[in-house]
Amino acid sequence: MATVEHDAELMLRVRDGCSGSFAILLERHRGPVVHFMFRMVQNQAVAEELAQEVFLRVYRSRGSYEPTAKFTTWLYRIATHLALNWLRDGKHERGQQSLDTGAEEGTSARQVADYELTVEQRMVRDSRFVEVRRAIEALPGKQRAAVMMHKYREMEYSHIARVLECSESAVKSLLFRAYQTLRARLAHLG
């Protein structure tokens, strides 16, 4: 709770012209926002571009900022809006060719830590990685966003509901359907 207040306090200082406070907010939320975007759009370059747009919009709106809601609710609402727009506009189709490249990027990032794995183990792990990405990619945008916030950000249903601007029961329904799809596609990996 203190962290939430701190975010709001920092944002109020940003509103008063303190760019150092914005740098702290950026430091705190940069990773989670980029990771959220990466899992949503499944392309690292696009994820970073969209995450920059998120922070740019936060900075641009600093003058009218009022701490009426959690800072992270506002932040993820902007992020989700941008990601869903990107998916809706079909831009992912143009970037689709990079899915396999992206998978390679994702695996190569872990190779340093996984040097102790055998070639076979690495292949199994990489194939799981690609399968999970494809299963997530098959989810409708809003279900995908709900799962990303539930699984990776560990957000409460009420928080996800405020981000997605829907009811808590709608979020539970989204998650139930999303996990149902994922269970059908990924249960064999267990």
Contacting positions for other proteins (CB under 8 A): 23, 26, 30-31, 34-35, 38-39, 44, 47-48, 51-52, 55-56, 59-60, 105-106, 109-110, 125, 128-129, 131-133, 136, 147, 150-152, 154, 157, 169, 172-173, 175-177, 179, 182-183, 186-190
SS3 (DSSP) at 65: coil
Backbone CA torsion sign across 30, 133, 42, 143: negative
Q: Which is nearer to other proteins, 164 or 182 (CB)?
A: 182
CA-wise closest residue to 142 among 108, 104, 119, 173: 173
- Residue 132 C-beta: closest distance to other proteins, Å: 5
- Residue 68 C-beta: closest distance to other proteins, Å: 20
Q: Which is nearer to other proteins, 9 or 114 (CB)?
A: 114
- Residue 12 C-beta: closest distance to other proteins, Å: 18
Give the whole-angstrom CA distance, residue 166 versus residue 39: 22
Q: Which is nearer to other proteins, 66 or 152 (CB)?
A: 152
- Residue 129 C-beta: closest distance to other proteins, Å: 5
Indicate the DSSP class of residue 148.
I
The answer to whether the beta carbons of residues 67 and 13 sit under 8 Å apart is no
CA-wise closest residue to 73 among 147, 158, 141, 6: 158
Give the whole-angstrom CA distance, residue 119 versus residue 31: 30
Q: Which is nearer to other proteins, 109 or 123 (CB)?
A: 109
Give the whole-angstrom CA distance, residue 78 versus residue 172: 21
- Residue 15 C-beta: closest distance to other proteins, Å: 15
- Residue 109 C-beta: closest distance to other proteins, Å: 5
Burial class (CB in 10 A: 0-12, 13-18, 19+), 51: buried
In one-letter notation, the amino acid at residue 123 is M
